[in-house]
C-alpha cells in the first residue's frame, strides 16, 4: 500500500489522580497521536513519549519533530510500503524508539484494517483475555497508599506494583504486605533511583515475597544489575535498560535480568516487541507488558501484545478508568475475574470516538 500522509495530532488528557514516580509527578498527559492515511484507509498510532525527558531521553515535542522532519519523509517517498518494512527503513536514524513505534503502529493498524486481521492475531496471540495489574504511584503518606491499594484490589486487579524511591521503599512495602496479606501478587518499580551500593538495602525487600524488583539502577548499568542480582533474592526485572531484542538477550546472558518488562514504545515498535518476547521465551525468561499511561489506542495494542504465550505474568495493562475519566476510545473495563478482553476487530480493534477526540485535541498538523 502507499502512504499518503501522516497526521500529527496532540491531545490533552487529565489523569484521574496524579501519578508520582521516582522521576517526577504527572498530572496530565500531552499525547501525540499519529494517523496514517493510505490508499486503502487509515490507521492510528500512539506515541508514549512524556512531555519531559524523564523516563527516557524522548519527549513529545521532540518526537513530533523527528517524525515530521526525518521519519515521515522516508516513508512518504516510497511508492509502496508495508508495516514490516517500517523499522528497517527508519533504522538509518539513531534512537527515537517511541517516535518510530508510533509511526509503525499507525501503518500497521492501517494495513491490518485493510486486510481484516486483528493486531492480536497478527502478533501471534494465544489468549482472548489477559490478567490486569495496576501500577500505584508514590503517595504523600502510608495511609493514602493503603487506601489506594485496597481500592484497586476491590476493583479486581490481580497484581499490585508499587512505585518506590530511596526513603519510600522498605517501610511502605512492609505496610502494604501486612495489609493485603501473603497471597496478593506484589512487586516494586524504582525507575532507576538506586545505585549498585544499595544492594544490602534492597535485600531488605526480600522478606516481603515480591514477584520482582523493576529497574533499580540506571538504564546503562547492566553490569550493576548483574551484581545486584547476586545480592538480592527477589528477581530483578529490567524495563528502561531493554531497548531491543539484542539487548534483551545480552541482559539475560549477563545475569542482569530474570524477568523482562516489554513496552513497544521503548523498543521501537510492536514488531520489535514480539522479537523481545521471542528472545525471552527462548531463554525461559517470563515477560509482562508494561504501560505508559496510554489512551485506549495504546491500551488496545498492549492487550494484543500481552496475549502472546510468553506473557506469563500480569502486566501494567489496567482498565481505562485507572487513568481516565473519559478515554479516547470505547473504554476498557475490568471483568469480574480481573481480566481485560483482547480486542478482536481488524487492526487495533478500536478507534478514537470522534466527539472525544475533537474535545481533547490541542493541535493537528498533516505531513504529506
Ligand atoms: C514504568 N509506567 O513502568 C512506567 C513509568 C511511567 C505504569 O508504571 C507519563 C508517561 C507518565 C509515561 C509515568 C508505569 C509516566 C509514564 C511513569 C511512564 O516505569
Ligand atoms: Mg518501569
What does pLDDT average to over the chain?
A: 98
Query: According to the model, what pLDDT value does residue 107 have?
Result: 98
Residue 241, pLDDT score: 99
Identify any residues that bridge with 43 across adjacent strands, giving them in sequence order: 36
Determine contact, residues 193/22, Cβ cutoff 8 Å: yes
Q: Cα of 68 to ligand 2 centre, how many Å?
A: 28
Atom number, ligand 1, closest to the C-alpha of residue 163: 8
pLDDT of residue 51: 98
Q: Which three cell numbers stand for residue 280?
A: 525471552
Q: Are the beta carbons of 103 and 71 closer than 8 angstroms?
A: yes
What is residue 27's predicted lDDT score, i.e. its pLDDT?
A: 98
Which ligand is located closest to the Cα atom of residue 23? 1
Burial class from Cβ neighbours inside 10 Å (0-12, 13-18, 19+) for residue 181 reads exposed
Other C-beta atoms within 10 Å of 53: how many?
13
Tens-digit pLDDT string for the chain (368 aa): 999 999 999 999 999 999 999 999 999 999 999 999 999 999 999 999 999 999 999 999 999 999 999 999 999 999 999 999 999 999 999 999 999 999 999 999 999 999 999 999 999 999 999 999 999 999 999 999 999 999 999 999 999 999 999 999 999 999 999 999 999 999 999 999 999 999 999 999 999 999 999 999 999 999 999 999 999 999 999 999 999 999 999 999 999 999 999 999 999 999 999 999 999 999 999 999 999 999 999 999 999 999 999 999 999 999 999 999 999 999 999 999 999 999 999 999 999 999 999 999 999 999 99
- The number of the ligand 1 atom at minimal distance from the alpha carbon of 240 is 19
- Contacts of residue 364, defined as CB under 8 A and 6 or more positions apart, other chains included, come to 7, 8, 9, 10
Length of the chain: 368
Do 114 and 42 touch, CB atoms closer than 8 A?
A: no
- Interval between CA 323 and ligand 1 midpoint (Å): 11
Instruction: Please give the pLDDT value at position 68.
Output: 98
Q: How far is the CA of 354 from the centre of ligand 2 (A)?
A: 32
Ligand 1 is surrounded, with C-beta below 6 A, by 19, 21, 26, 29, 50, 55, 135, 189, 191, 239, 290-293, 316
pLDDT of residue 281: 98
The DSSP 8-state label assigned to residue 329 in this structure reads: S
In sequence order, the 6+-apart residues with CB closer than 8 A to the CB of 128 are: 307, 341, 342, 344
What DSSP string describes 241-280? Answer: T--SHHHHHHHHHTTS-SEEEE-HHHHTSHHHHHHHHHHH
Amino acid at each position: 500500500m502507499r502512504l499518503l500522509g501522516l497526521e500529527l495530532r496532540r491531545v490533552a488528557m487529565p489523569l484521574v489522580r496524579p501519578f508520582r514516580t521516582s522521576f517526577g509527578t504527572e498530572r496530565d498527559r500531552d499525547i501525540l497521536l499519529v494517523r496514517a492515511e493510505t490508499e486503502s484507509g487509515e490507521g492510528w498510532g500512539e506515541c508514549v513519549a512524556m512531555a519531559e525527558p524523564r523516563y527516557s531521553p524522548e519527549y513529545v515535542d521532540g518526537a513530533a519533530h523527528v517524525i515530521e522532519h526525518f521519519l515521515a519523509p522516508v516513508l512518504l517517498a516510497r511508492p509502496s510500503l508495508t508495516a514490516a518494512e517500517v523499522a528497517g527503513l527508519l533504522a538509518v536514524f539513531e534512537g527515537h524508539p517511541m517516535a518510530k513505534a508510533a509511526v509503525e503502529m499507525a501503518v500497521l493498524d492501517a494495513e491490518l484494517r485493510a486486510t481484516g486481521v486483528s493486531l492480536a492475531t497478527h502478533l501471534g496471540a494465544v489468549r482472548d483475555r489477559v490478567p490486569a495489574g495496576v501500577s500505584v504511584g508514590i503517595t504523600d503518606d502510608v495511609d493514602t497508599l493503603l487506601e489506594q491499594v485496597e481500592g484497586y484490589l476491590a476493583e479486581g486487579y490481580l497484581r499490585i506494583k508499587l512505585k518506590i524511591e530511596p526513603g519510600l521503599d522498605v517501610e511502605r512495602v512492609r505496610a502494604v504486605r501486612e495489609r493485603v496479606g501473603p497471597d496478593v501478587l506484589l512487586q516494586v518499580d524504582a525507575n532507576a533511583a538506586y545505585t549498585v551500593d544499595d544492594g544490602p538495602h534492597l535485600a531488605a525487600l526480600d522478606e516481603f515475597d515480591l514477584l520482582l524488583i523493576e529497574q533499580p539502577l540506571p538504564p546503562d548499568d547492566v553490569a550493576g544489575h548483574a551484581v545486584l542480582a547476586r545480592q538480592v533474592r527477589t528477581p530483578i526485572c529490567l524495563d528502561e535498560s531493554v531497548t531491543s531484542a539484542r539487548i534483551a538477550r545480552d541482559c539475560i546472558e549477563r545475569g542482569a535480568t530474570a524477568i523482562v518488562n516489554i513496552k513497544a514504545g521503548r523498543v521501537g515498535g510492536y514488531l520489535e516487541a514480539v522479537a523481545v518476547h521471542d528472545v525471552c521465551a527462548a531463554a525461559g525468561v517470563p515477560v509482562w507488558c508494561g504501560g505508559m499511561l496510554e489512551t485506549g489506542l495504546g491500551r488496545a495494542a498492549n492487550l494484543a501484545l500481552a496475549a502472546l504465550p510468553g506473557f506469563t505474568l500480569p502486566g501494567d495493562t489496567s482498565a481505562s478508568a485507572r487513568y481516565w475519566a473519559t478515554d479516547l476510545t470505547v473504554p476498557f473495563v475490568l471483568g469480574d475475574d480481573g481480566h481485560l478482553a483482547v480486542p478482536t476487530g481488524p487492526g487495533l480493534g478500536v478507534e478514537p470516538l470522534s466527539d472525544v477526540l475533537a474535545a481533547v485535541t490541542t493541535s493537528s498538523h498533516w505531513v504529506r
